[in-house]
Amino acid sequence: MLKKLLKLFATMFKIGAFTFGGGYAMIALLENEFVTQKKWVDKDEFLDIVAIAESTPGPIAINMATYLGYRQAGVLGSACATLGVVLPSFLIIYVISLFFDAFLSLTLVANAFRGIQACVVYLIFSAGWKMFKGLPKSAFNTVLLMITIACMVSFSIFAVKFSTVFYILISGVIGLCAYLIGLAHKKGAKK
Amino acid sequence: MIYLQLFLTFLEIGAVSFGGGYGMISLIREKVLTYGWLEEEELLNFIAVSESTPGPIAINMATFIGSSKGGILGAALATLGVVLPAFCIILLIATVIRGLLKYAGVQAFLGGIRPCVVGLILGTSATMFLSAVCHFKTIGGGFAFDWRALLIVAAVALFASLWKKWKTKKPSPILMILVSAGLGMLLYSF
């Protein structure tokens, strides 16, 4: 048991330490480790886990680690796997954060980061754009997306405080209502 | 009580961030700007570092912000906060409610969230653009157009599309960050 926990921890630590670019890059590595090499779960179950990870809140890597860890060694396995995937990030970033301000006080570095700031804006836009293209094209999705963008940008310009949490909860409830209305319509049509 | 605040804030971020990667960027931005933890420029720096180091962006951001506001304890609590909701929810799904996602109602709820999250990310990039390139935050606030920043955004976009044409895949974010770092040194130093 202890051996299995250690192995889980070590595998996840390795994945946490070597995947750049977060969530989706990590899925490929996890599949390679857990399905192809160790054969701890089969392909179908792995795809199920990915679907669950994508539809639950939180970083995808954490969702995957928790689930895979549980399947291997119960709650303790979950904890080991999650700790393993988090620890490399934590250590690397903590060390960087100690030196970051000193590093930024160099003029040349500060100038480089002014360029990088502009790039990050583009990176976020391009991540959003990619997700937009992956979204099923329906009137419902388009309208909800447009309203969200319009509200967010105008609230921000006019300094209206409206938490992101509300956007998420309200749109979830709208999705649920749309489904219930659709259901009621179907029932009405049957009668 | 910065420690409690860090923990609770990242607990909230962890609990409602759907869509992975940049899914939580709008909420992180809202929180750090509201609490005055970071300026817009610092936030963008932190995102760049989180993107260029291994590991999930959400974890990197939590550790970074936690450490800059509350040292190692702050970093640990922020990271614990962002991990805990995902950990508990997945454990619940794995143990008790295995079929949770098969319910049509749950799917409908998630179906509403999906376009919203995409909208939030695009909206965030728009407000960040206004703030980073035009130094424009709210009506009545200042406005100072930064042509260098606009030039860099345009150059990076051009670089990405050219690279995609030649190599048939997008350049990695790290490569783009390096290119923009070079451009920043060049444009802002002279």
pLDDT in tens, A40-64: 888 888 888 887 887 888 888 888 8
Whole-angstrom Cα Rg for chain B:
19
Residue A84 near residue A65 (C-beta atoms within 8 A)? yes
**Partner-chain contact A82 B176, CB within 8 Å:** no
Distance to chain A for B5, nearest Cα, Å: 17
Task: Answer whether residue A131 shows pLDDT above 80.
Answer: yes
**Partner-chain contact B54 A17, CB within 8 Å:** yes
Residue A111 near residue B185 (C-beta atoms within 8 A)? yes
CA distance B59 to A60: 11
> Residue range A16-45: average pLDDT?
81
Query: Chain B residue with minimal CA distance to A181?
Result: B108
Q: What pLDDT is stored for residue A191 in this prediction?
A: 62
Q: What is the pLDDT of residues A75-113, one digit of tens each?
A: 999 999 999 999 999 999 999 999 988 888 888 888 988
Could you give the dihedral angle defined by the CA atoms of residues A13, B94, B61 and B182, in that order, rounded to the nearest 10 degrees?
60
Q: What pLDDT is stored for residue B141 in this prediction?
A: 73
Does B189 contact chain A (CB < 8 Å)? yes
Distance to chain A for B45, nearest Cα, Å: 6
Nearest Cα residue to A89 out of B35, B22, B82: B82
**Partner-chain contact A127 B121, CB within 8 Å:** yes
Confidence of residue A24 (pLDDT cuts 50, 70, 90): low
**Partner-chain contact B153 A171, CB within 8 Å:** no
pTM to 2 decimals? Answer: 0.86
Nearest to B91 among A78, A89, A156 (CB): A78
Cα–Cα distances (Å) from A159 to A163, B30, B36, B43, in that order, read 12, 12, 15, 19
% of chain A at pLDDT higher than 90:
25
Contacts of A140 in chain B (CB under 8 A): 111, 115
Beta carbons within 8 Å of B126's beta carbon, 6+ residues apart: A125, A149, A152, A153
Confidence of residue A21 (pLDDT cuts 50, 70, 90): low
CA distance B116 to B5: 27
> Residue range A11-23: average pLDDT?
80
DSSP state letters, B147-170: HHHHHHHHHHHHHHHHHHHHHSSP
In chain B, where does DSSP find H-type helix? Answer: 2-16, 25-34, 40-52, 57-95, 104-133, 147-167, 173-189
Contacts of A75 in chain B (CB under 8 A): 91
**Partner-chain contact A123 B173, CB within 8 Å:** yes
Residue A181 near residue A187 (C-beta atoms within 8 A)? no
User: What are the residue ranges spanned by the domains of chain A?
Assistant: 2-135, 136-191
In one-letter notation, the amino acid at residue B139 is I
Distance to chain B for A121, nearest Cα, Å: 6
Low-confidence ranges of chain B (pLDDT < 70): 98
Q: What pLDDT is stored for residue A55 in this prediction?
A: 81
**Partner-chain contact A129 B122, CB within 8 Å:** yes
Beta carbons within 8 Å of A116's beta carbon, 6+ residues apart: B44, B45, B48, B177, B180, B181, B184
